[in-house]
Structure 1
Amino acid sequence: MKPKTEARIRLDEVRAAISRIVRGAQSVRYGDRQVNRAELASLRMLEQQYAREVAAEEARLAGRGRNRINYLSI
């Protein structure tokens, strides 16, 4: 089993928050106060960012770092 990286943990948390919002938990009422959670659009942007970080971390751990081939013409 692969160890969970920091980026993977954050990605899972953001996806859980998106899931709660989609199921209807956008706002919560505590007595006479109402609390709104993060907007779906901002969570989607965070999800994309963390997904890129997870892909980069997993590629690095698998030994498939970034390809740095340069083609020069003479």
Structure 2
Amino acid sequence: MARLDTLQSRLQQYVDCEAAILGGAQEYNIGSRRLRRGDLAEIASTIKYLEKEIAAEESRVAGGGRNRVIGVIPRDL
């Protein structure tokens, strides 16, 4: 459960960062210094990655992962 919580927390941070950049906070000046925040394309790709990781982790926790093994006994009738 801790990994899922961590992934969800990171996703929320990236979504907040994306919203800040879209709101015009990508570049700003403090005195004579010009500061720039993260790259929007990189943030968007990280959000997609985290969403996939969260889905995989939720599936794993629920026991329905795609690598689930079910015992099958072949029979020749």
Which segment is superposed worse, 41-50 or 3-12?
3-12
* Residue aligned with 1:64, SS: coil
Structure 1 distance, partners of 2:59, 2:34, is: 43
Unpaired segments of 5 or more residues in structure 2?
A: 70-77
Structure 2 distance, partners of 1:50, 1:27, is: 25
TM-score (norm 1): 0.78
Percent identity over the alignment is 34
Unpaired segments of 5 or more residues in structure 1?
A: 70-74
1:28 CA drift (Å): 2.1
* Structure index of larger Rg: 2
- Superimposed CA distance per residue, residues 27-72 of structure 1 (whole angstroms, 9 cap, x where no aligned partner): 1211110110111111111111111111111111122112457xxx
How large is the RMSD of aligned CA atoms in angstroms?
A: 2.0
Between Structure 1 and Structure 2, how many residues are aligned?
Answer: 68
TM-score (norm 2): 0.76
Q: 1:15 is matched with which residue?
A: 15
